Amino acid sequence: MDRVNSPVVYVTGAAGQLGSALLASPSIPPEVEVVGLTSSDIDLTSDTSVNGVLAGLVEGDIVINTAAFTDVDGAEIARDDAFAVNSDGPRRLAERTAAVGARLIHVSTDYVFGPDVPHRPLTAEDRGDAPRTVYGASKLAGEREVTATDPSAIVVRTAWVFTGRPPVRDFVTTMLALEAQRETLTVVDDQTGSPTYAPDLASGLWEIVVRLNDDPASIGGGVLNATNAGQGTWCDLARAVFTAVGADPDRIQPCTTDEFPRPAPRPAYSVLSGKAWSDAGLTPLRDWHAALVDALSGARSG
């Protein structure tokens, strides 16, 4: 393989929801070699592991980091573990990409924002600040480590990622299971965000790879937001799941966050603006309702 024109794309977190979607995506450009790295292949908490596994990284190669400590509630009692994976790990990757002139695409989250955000779609220029959770704080620290270590790195914030098909366990598959088990469900209706279909997000990330391969200077370092278009509450999403499989959406009853407390408080509002994504010439992700219908095609209510 011609390494000058055919970069290697390393996908960390390859066994996770987004990593799996990246490896299975029909949008993988034919000119690249893809290397999926699971936690068994690379330990982001170890300098030795990161440097050894990525020893062959060269200029023109790309690392897509989807690996993360994603147990939002568990992070509240495992702070050191969360920061080791979500902050120190991305820094190690950025050190490697910066050292050889490779590019890093680091996936982040709407949880980097605290409660005092403006009630409008949050732009790439809105700095994460004072997140209410350990998970959010660790992801914000990771963003800052990455951009400080490798200014050419691209941070892609996303939110409410779902796949909608077992064996993945996400909000959508949970709603599908509960639809078959319970007559009615109570779901939080005062948290608003943008549901994001993992395969759609994966296609967007591969579009960045194509751009970086064709014209590396066309996308500089910094923050981009990538979610499916539109917004809704968790209750809206649950009702849309029921509708998509032919179940009565009125079986979903709304409740407040205070009525359904969690160890780690969720953002009340975290809709992400896709303006910077579009301004960069990247294809906007479609509306989340259409993505959900595709995700659940073939599914049936119990």
pLDDT per residue as tens digits for the range 153-191: 999 999 999 999 989 999 999 999 999 999 999 999 999
Domain span at 277 = 8-161+198-228+271-285
Whether residue 92 lies inside any domain: the answer is: yes
Task: Give pLDDT tens digits for 122-131.
Answer: 999 998 788 9
The catalytic residue among 10, 111, 135, 269 is 135
Whether residue 103 lies inside any domain: the answer is: yes
Q: How remote is the C-alpha of 180 from its chain's centroid?
A: 28
Whether residue 57 lies inside any domain: the answer is: yes
Whether residue 166 lies inside any domain: the answer is: no
List Cβ<8 Å contacts ≥24 apart for 143-148.
143/90, 143/106, 143/108, 143/112, 143/223, 145/87, 145/88, 145/90, 145/91, 145/94, 146/90, 146/91, 146/93, 146/94, 146/104, 146/106, 147/221, 147/222, 147/223
Whether residue 234 lies inside any domain: the answer is: no
Whether residue 247 lies inside any domain: the answer is: no
Q: Residue 197: which H helix or E strand, with range?
A: strand 196-197
pLDDT at residue 5, rounded to an integer: 60
Whether residue 23 lies inside any domain: the answer is: yes
What global pTM score does this model have?
A: 0.95
Known catalytic membership, residue 135: yes
Q: How many domains does the chain have?
A: 1
Whether residue 186 lies inside any domain: the answer is: no
**Any idea what the CATH number is for the domain that residue 34 is in?**
3.40.50.720
Percent share of the chain, pLDDT over 90: 90
